[in-house]
Amino acid sequence: MGIAVEHLRKDHEQIYASLHMMKHIFINSGTYLLNHSNDIARCIRFLSVFAAMCHNGKEDIILKNYLEIDGIATDGDDLIGIIREHRLIDACLKRIQDSFPKNPFHYLPPRFIGSMVNYFALVKNHMEREEAVLFPMIDDMFSTMEQEALSTSFHEHEKSILEIKGNETVKSDMERMIGAFR
């Protein structure tokens, strides 16, 4: 497995772990938000900053450019179709953000719970498809040097998102939560 694929696969692992932990929080909190409000808010922040902006950005902006420049994929391709699923996932995440109650004494509304269930299914399916189709293709098509260049661009992209004020602790907060949950 090349270094760029390994980079994306590690991101997926972290996203899977965060989804697994969120399910656990849900099962324990039921629909009543009190005591779990901060944990759920932190998870939504991780999904927005790390999953949507950092990880999807690496595939959406950097990888897609490489694929198109090399003439490997064009707009009508299945490969680009997988990457385009990010738009559906983003729309679902927006519904989650919009329906999350600000007041911890409120119950979680059905729209929030429905969007969350939808998000779990969409993201899991999407990442499994990438691992089955997209990642092996990257390994086949890109040389070691190209994968190194891709991986460097991935790191730079992630750094540029995580150094924005308010985002600095998103990844470490989630790692701590996952550690505590295990």
Residues at the site binding Fe ion, with contacts judged by CB under 5 A: 59, 130
Residue 39: which H helix or E strand, with range?
helix 37-46
In angstroms, rounded to a whole number, what is the distance separating the alpha carbons of residues 96 and 158?
23
Least distance in angstroms from the C-beta of 27 to Fe ion:
26
- For Fe ion, the closer of residues 18 and 37 by Cβ is 18
- For Fe ion, the closer of residues 2 and 108 by Cβ is 2
Least distance in angstroms from the C-beta of 121 to Fe ion:
15
The answer to whether the beta carbons of residues 171 and 53 sit under 8 Å apart is no
- For Fe ion, the closer of residues 52 and 177 by Cβ is 52
DSSP state of 108: P
Least distance in angstroms from the C-beta of 109 to Fe ion:
28
Structure tokens at 11: 């991101």
CA dihedral 99, 100, 103, 105 (to 10 degrees): 100
CA dihedral 15, 91, 32, 170 (to 10 degrees): 40
Residue 55 has a CB neighbour count (10 Å cut-off) of 25
- For Fe ion, the closer of residues 39 and 130 by Cβ is 130
Least distance in angstroms from the C-beta of 123 to Fe ion:
9
